[in-house]
Amino acid sequence: MEVILNINDLKLGNLFNNLSIYIEKNKFIVISGPNNCGKTTLLRILSREIEIPGNIILYDKNIYDYKIEDYLKEVRCVIPQEILFNENNLEDELNFQSELEESDKKILINYIVKGLKIKRILNKDIETLSPDEIVLSQIALALVNHPKIILLDNIDNYLNIKELENTYNFLKDFRDKFGLTIIMTTLDLNQSLYSDYLYIINNSKVILSGEPITILQRDNIINKAGLFLPFMLDLSVKLRDYEIINSIYLDKYKMVDEIWK
């Protein structure tokens, strides 16, 4: 697969020391780690909100070699609650921010609204939006000019399980239609089960990386980092260690069937 974003030997105070992460095109990447390990700061760097010396390559050149307006066409960042609206409601804001031709604009906005299930909030006064509605609005606005990369910071703190599952499914559909690389930070390793690839960072560096179902079986390292395994996976690992089952199960019914064979 094509690597489109290279973070090479990133250094920043006590947060990062030779941190290297490689992002493949059109993958759903989760970056996890304990509190205060630098997850949000990393996204602020990738969105160019924070500028530091470093070798971060988008496509074939350093991210700081792009004009900021050109860079933001490629990379959009959602940090919950950090948003400034120009209009009084989301429908007007989507139309205001879209740079597409009128016919294409209407088609894409309708697709985003339907996919994120936010029609009910289109005409609500911005001041009356709840925290989860604001985050869904931010995601919609981040996608309105179909960027190539979207950065999502801890959105699971604001969306309920149903909203999260719908959002993940929609982002994957958006990816299939337009091409989209999704990079999401979270403290909750349950969220990594929706992704293609997982990075876990701690003590200023990457301590584990790979396909989530494989990485999450490294329970000793994960627990030492202060993180918690998804319940079903943790249970599977323990039952497998006791030779009660032979495989990893995320579905409790399949696990019960295996135990009772």
Q: What is the pLDDT of residues 179-226, one digit of tens each?
A: 999 999 999 999 999 999 999 999 999 999 999 989 988 989 998 999
Q: What average pLDDT does this structure show over 35-48?
A: 94
* Minimum mean pLDDT range among 37-41, 56-60, 84-88: 84-88
How would you write the chain as a 3-class SS string?
A: CCEEEEEEEEEECCCEEEEEEEEECCCEEEEECCCCCCHHHHHHHHCCCCCCCCEEEECCEEHHHCCHHHHHHHEEEECCCCCCCCCCCHHHHHHHHCCCCHHHHHHHHHHHHHHHCCHHHCCCCHHHCCHHHHHHHHHHHHHCCCCCEEEEECHHHCCCHHHHHHHHHHHHHHHHHHCCEEEEEECCHHHHHHCCEEEEEECCEEEEEECHHHHCCCHHHHHHCCCCCCHHHHHHHHHHHCCCCCCCCCCHHHHHHHHCC
Whole-number average pLDDT of the chain: 91
pLDDT of 58 over the 70 cut: yes
Q: What is the pLDDT of residues 128-183, one digit of tens each?
A: 999 999 999 999 999 999 999 999 999 999 999 999 999 999 999 999 999 999 99
Which domains, ranges and CATH numbers included, belong to the chain?
3-214 (3.40.50.300)
For residue 239, what pLDDT is reported? 74
pLDDT of 109 over the 70 cut: yes
